[in-house]
Structure 1
């Protein structure tokens, strides 16, 4: 019985690590959006820049930071989410589009 628990625990840890690695490798990147631009919700690993009056505009970029530190978004009170690119070199501070 103890051997099964250890084996099951090891399998769960491996599955969790693989899932985390897959999420990290495939998380959406910020795109080339700039402050004031509107973007869609992440689709197929990335955001798409759209007009702010578009029906699929999900977020408005409050700020585009040239660092991978999302704590910089704290300076913008209307930000509901921040996204750091895969390289960790750019952060988008996102507010609601509407």
Structure 2
């Protein structure tokens, strides 16, 4: 039961603090989210955590399934954009 409560609390915290819209485009590298947003960086930067595989114009992360190297998808809090992210390394 405690694991379920922790998982629900973690999910609620992520939902409340998920990133806002990003100006990143496919091929850009970004940092891990900090203070609710990503920062674009050069792909050769040590801070580059993810490479954007695609930017979808809706809040449906299922569209990222079409991109083979995606390890995570992030939907902005307004559900207007989805970033499909692969590893920057």
**Structure 1 length normalisation: TM-score?**
0.76
Aligned length, in residue pairs: 86
Give the structure with higher Rg (CA): 1
- State the secondary structure of the residue aligned to 1:83: strand
* Higher relative helix content: 1
Contact residue 36 and residue 62 of structure 1 kept, 8 A: yes
Unaligned 5+ segments in structure 2 are none
Give 1:71's match in structure 2, choosing from 62, 66, 83: 62
Which structure ranks higher in relative contact order (CA pairs < 8 Å, sequence separation ≥ 6)? 2
Unaligned 5+ segments in structure 1 are 1-12
Counterparts of 1:15-30 in structure 2 under 5 Å?
21-30=12-21
User: What CA deviation, in whole Å up to 9, does each residue of 1:18-73 have, x standing for no partner?
Assistant: 77555422212341100000000011111100000000000000000001100000
